[in-house]
């Protein structure tokens, strides 16, 4: 496995959201005895291993059996525990889709599905392990809340927030270390977008890995005289309608996500705008294809998940 | 707790009458696999389980998971007879707005522990409940009723592996081994046999009984409580459609409602 684990307390600029998740779980476990964690043989990768080391009696490795992972998490939640069930996003939402739907979401059971290795930034493992449709799958299930944090600080807070919330949540986390966007003064609110840049000419609504690309695009656009708002839409469902409508007031909306353009953040924004405030839009995302093996940066370049692509989309819309 | 087999037999007859009446009134539903499980469910709800119908969320209650959720009528009949809700409500089965959904919905009906209906889930959810009991040092037991056809689902075997791995001796599984599924004989559609050997190989203690004989069921449930360090499974040999002559051993009555005339005949056979 990759070696990007930071030393706790050391101020590193890039931390993976999965690592922040693993550390946040330990913090949470110390605060609340009801927290239990389940994994499916990937605890060193999902970083639930930190929790397992400190709270072995509250950690359950279910083996390579993701359906059992979700069903067991449901049973624990029905008995008053707050389970975090972790595996890779492709297995959490694909292999275990139906138990997630019927054993967790339909009965509105208090399970937190924290899935790591989402999107193309899985890298070398290739398409079988790169979930590009997980947001779409989870977003389509009634009762499900969908959260995609952008960096370590936001992940830490999101973990606390979803533990405090009573209901099923899908937390989407990434493999690679990502740049710090927020310091500890940031305050995450479930269901609320966060405006990172004001702007009057266009709005970029991004989530996860793409938030940093959006910031870079906005900086470059500003240098060219285009003032672009940047929204971090870390809760994709329920969508912050007010924030999206405010973004649409700029006249142009570009969404950016490390996910298929079918069913993800872009779709969520388009569904709202098309029915309430039709606005010229572009979606930066994976255009209906699987990924492949490669270095994360190479893949993001090849599949146009870049600041450059966001910038081009804004300029294209502005020139219409 | 009732250990008078005559009284249990009387309750079983009432449950069968409810099942026929409510599925008949609904015009759809699953009578066959509800009737096969009557004695098992009666033994649990009127014999061994620690329950308080006044407090369906009592933390110390024993839990029952109807993994074969299509047998909802037998669960509803038992809950009504046990006092969770008025018996009159049974005839709202499957109607718009009724808490008696086609398959059990825990949010709609107090007393239903787990929303089931999608086969294969129940054992894994029961495992989670049994693990929670252990964490809380609580002494409640978890019972899960599985169908034999249901054991074709891979998820059930993930659960079987996990229950043994975690040595869940506070969990008892019961298999309603009625040998029929929608498309015909379980052994012909996709045989899960040999069941006892499979479960033993997975690390369970097993016992095979006549699933319509109260003395055998009660003894087996007692035996299961004594098993230590392992989960226990009771393989209950049953007859699908049990108690109604024209439904017995007929796969066609898996998911078909009796017509008015058939309801009458069935009730006449069952007696008061």
Residues A111 and A171 in one domain: yes
Contacts of A74 in chain B (CB under 8 A): 114, 121, 124-125, 128
Residues A26 and A167 in one domain: yes
Between chain A and chain B, the number of residue pairs with CB atoms below 8 A apart is 104
Residues A264 and A293 in one domain: yes
- Is the residue at A99 inside a domain? yes
Last residue of a domain, one of A148, A179, A210: A179
Task: Using an 8 Å CB-CB cutoff, list residues of chain A that contact chain B.
Answer: 36, 57-58, 60, 62-63, 65, 67-68, 70-81, 83, 98-99, 102-103, 106-108
pLDDT digits (tens, 9 = 90+) for B31-69: 999 999 999 999 999 999 999 999 999 999 999 999 999
Query: Which of B117, B128, B154 faces A72 most closely, judged by CB atoms?
Result: B128
Q: Which is more confident, A140 or B4?
A: A140
Rounded CA separation A45/A21 (Å)? 11
Residues A106 and A208 in one domain: no
Query: Which of A83, A98, A108 faces B107 most closely, judged by CB atoms?
Result: A108
What is the percent of chain B where pLDDT is above 90?
A: 98
Mean pLDDT of B243-258: 97
ipTM of the complex: 0.97
pLDDT digits (tens, 9 = 90+) for B110-129: 999 999 999 999 999 999 99
DSSP string, A231-282: EE--EEES--HHHHHHHHTTS-EEEEEEEESSSSHHHHHHHHHHHHS---EE
The answer to whether B60 contacts chain A (CB < 8 Å) is: no
Query: Which of B115, B135, B155 faces A68 most closely, judged by CB atoms?
Result: B155
Residues A175 and A199 in one domain: no
Give the CATH number of the domain where residue A285 resides: 3.40.50.920
Contacts of A141 in chain B (CB under 8 A): none
What is the percent of chain A where pLDDT is above 90?
A: 95
DSSP at A7:
P
pLDDT score, position B272: 86
Q: How far is CA B129 from CA A48, A100, A123, A155, B133, in A?
A: 21, 17, 37, 29, 6
Residue A170 pLDDT > 50: yes
Contacts of B154 in chain A (CB under 8 A): 67
Mean pLDDT of A183-187: 92
Beta bridge partners of residue A118, listed in sequence order: A131
Residue A320 pLDDT > 80: no
- The closest alpha carbon to B73, from B91, B88, B95, B54, belongs to B91
Q: Would you call A98 and B159 a contact, using CB atoms and an 8 Å cutoff?
A: no
The total number of structural domains in chain B stands at: 1
DSSP string, chain B: ----HHHHHHHHHHHHHHHHHHHHHHT----HHHHTTHHHHHIIIIII----TT-TT-TTS-EEEESSGGGHHHHHHHHHHHTSS-GGGGGGTT-TT-SS-SS--TTTSTT--S---STT-HHHHHHHHHHHHHHTT----EEEEEETGGGGSHHHHHHHHHHHHTT-TTEEEEEEE--EETTEEHHHHH----HHHHHHHTT-EEEEEETT-HHHHHHHHHHHHH--SS-EEEEEE--TTTT-TTTTT-GGGSS-PPPHHHHHHHHHHH--
Residue B75 pLDDT > 80: yes
- The closest alpha carbon to B236, from B178, B160, B165, belongs to B178
pLDDT score, position B2: 65
Three-class secondary structure assignment of B111-175? CCCCCCCCCCCHHHHHHHHHHHHHHCCCCCCEEEEEECHHHHCHHHHHHHHHHHHCCCCCEEEEE
Q: Would you call A79 and B125 a contact, using CB atoms and an 8 Å cutoff?
A: no
- Is the residue at A227 inside a domain? yes
Residues A175 and A198 in one domain: no
Taking all residues of chain B, what is their mean pLDDT, rounded to a whole number? 97
Q: Would you call A68 and B162 a contact, using CB atoms and an 8 Å cutoff?
A: yes
pLDDT score, position A2: 38
Residues A311 and A265 in one domain: yes
- Is the residue at A142 inside a domain? yes
Residues A144 and A27 in one domain: yes
pLDDT score, position A12: 54
Measured between CA atoms, the residue of chain B closest to residue A55 is: B135
**Nearest-neighbour CA in chain A from B130: distance (Å):** 8
Q: Would you call B115 and A63 a contact, using CB atoms and an 8 Å cutoff?
A: no
Taking all residues of chain A, what is their mean pLDDT, rounded to a whole number? 96
Residues A244 and A275 in one domain: yes
Query: Which of A62, A76, A102 faces B132 most closely, judged by CB atoms?
Result: A76
Residue B240 pLDDT > 60: yes
What's the pTM?
0.96
Beta bridge partners of residue A116, listed in sequence order: A88
Q: Which residues of A62-73 are buried (b: 16+ CB within 10 A; e: fewer)?
A: beebbbbbbbbb
Last residue of a domain, one of A153, A179, A205: A179
pLDDT digits (tens, 9 = 90+) for A2-43: 334 444 444 457 999 999 999 999 999 999 999 999 999 999
**Nearest-neighbour CA in chain A from B36: distance (Å):** 25
Residues A219 and A154 in one domain: no
Rounded CA separation B243/B4 (Å)? 20
Query: Which of B114, B115, B159 faces A68 most closely, judged by CB atoms?
Result: B159
pLDDT digits (tens, 9 = 90+) for A271-295: 999 999 999 999 999 999 999 999 9
Give the CATH number of the domain where residue A32 resides: 3.40.50.970
pLDDT score, position A44: 98
Interface test with A, best of B61, B109, B122, B128 (most A CBs within 10 A): B128
The total number of structural domains in chain A stands at: 2
Residues A280 and A155 in one domain: no
Structural domain of residue B174, as residue ranges? 5-270
- Is the residue at A175 inside a domain? yes
Indicate which residues of A carry an active-site annotation: 66
Residues A166 and A198 in one domain: no
Give the CATH number of the domain where residue B53 resides: 3.40.50.970
Structural domain of residue A297, as residue ranges? 194-318
């Amino acid at each position: 496995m990759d070696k990007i684990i930071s030393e706790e307390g050391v101020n590193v600029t890039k931390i993976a959201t999965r690592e922040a998740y693993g550390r946040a779980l330990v913090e949470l476990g110390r605060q609340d005895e009801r927290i239990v964690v389940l994994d499916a043989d990937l605890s060193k990768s999902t970083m639930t291993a930190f929790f397992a080391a400190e709270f072995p009696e509250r950690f359950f490795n279910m083996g390579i059996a993701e359906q059992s992972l979700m069903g067991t998490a449901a049973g624990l939640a029905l008995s008053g525990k707050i389970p975090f069930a972790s595996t890779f996003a492709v297995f959490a939402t694909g292999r275990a889709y139906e138990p997630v739907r019927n054993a967790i979401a339909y009965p509105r059971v208090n399970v937190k599905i924290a899935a790591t290795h989402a999107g193309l930034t899985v890298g070398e493992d290739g398409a079988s392990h790169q979930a590009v449709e997980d947001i779409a799958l989870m977003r389509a299930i009634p009762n499900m809340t969908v959260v995609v944090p952008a960096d370590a600080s936001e992940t830490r807070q999101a973990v606390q927030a979803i533990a405090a919330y009573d209901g099923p949540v899908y937390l989407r986390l990434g493999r690679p270390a990502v740049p710090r966007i927020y310091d500890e003064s940031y305050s995450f609110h479930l269901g609320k977008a966060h405006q990172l840049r004001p702007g009057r000419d266009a709005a970029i609504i991004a989530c996860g890995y793409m938030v940093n690309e959006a910031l870079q695009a906005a900086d470059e656009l500003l240098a060219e005289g285009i003032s672009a708002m940047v929204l971090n839409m870390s809760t994709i469902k329920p969508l912050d309608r007010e924030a999206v409508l405010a973004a649409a007031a700029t006249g142009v909306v570009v969404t950016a996500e490390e996910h298929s353009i079918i069913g993800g953040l872009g779709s969520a924004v388009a569904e709202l705008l098309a029915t309430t405030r039709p606005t010229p839009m572009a979606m930066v995302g994976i255009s209906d294809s699987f990924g492949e093996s490669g270095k994360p940066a190479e893949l993001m370049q090849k599949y146009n998940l870049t600041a450059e692509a966001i910038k081009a989309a804004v300029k294209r819309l502005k020139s219409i | 707790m009732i250990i008078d087999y005559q009284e249990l037999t009387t309750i079983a007859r009432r449950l069968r009458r409810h099942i026929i009446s409510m599925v008949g009134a609904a015009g759809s539903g699953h009578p066959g696999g509800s009737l096969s499980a009557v004695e098992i469910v009666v033994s649990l709800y009127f014999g061994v389980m620690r329950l308080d119908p006044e407090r369906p969320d009592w933390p110390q209650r024993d839990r029952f998971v109807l993994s074969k959720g299509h047998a909802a009528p037998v669960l509803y009949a038992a809950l009504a007879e046990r006092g969770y809700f008025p018996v009159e409500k049974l005839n709202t089965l499957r109607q718009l707005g009724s808490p008696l959904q086609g398959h059990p919905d825990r949010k709609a009906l107090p007393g239903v522990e787990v929303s089931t209906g999608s086969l294969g889930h129940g054992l894994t959810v029961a495992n989670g409940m049994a693990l929670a009991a252990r964490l809380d040092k609580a002494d409640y037991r978890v019972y899960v009723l599985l169908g034999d056809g249901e054991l074709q689902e891979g998820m059930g075997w993930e659960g079987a592996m996990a229950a043994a791995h975690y040595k869940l001796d506070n969990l008892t599984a019961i298999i309603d081994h009625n040998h029929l599924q929608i498309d015909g004989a379980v052994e012909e559609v996709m045989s899960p046999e040999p069941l006892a050997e499979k479960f033993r190989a997975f690390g369970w203690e097993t016992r095979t009984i006549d699933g319509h004989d109260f003395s055998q069921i009660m003894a087996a449930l007692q035996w299961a409580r004594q098993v230590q360090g392992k989960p226990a499974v009771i393989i209950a040999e049953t007859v699908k459609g049990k108690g109604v002559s024209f439904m017995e051993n007929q796969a066609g009555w898996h998911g078909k409602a009796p017509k008015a005339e058939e309801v009458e005949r069935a009730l006449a056979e069952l007696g008061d």
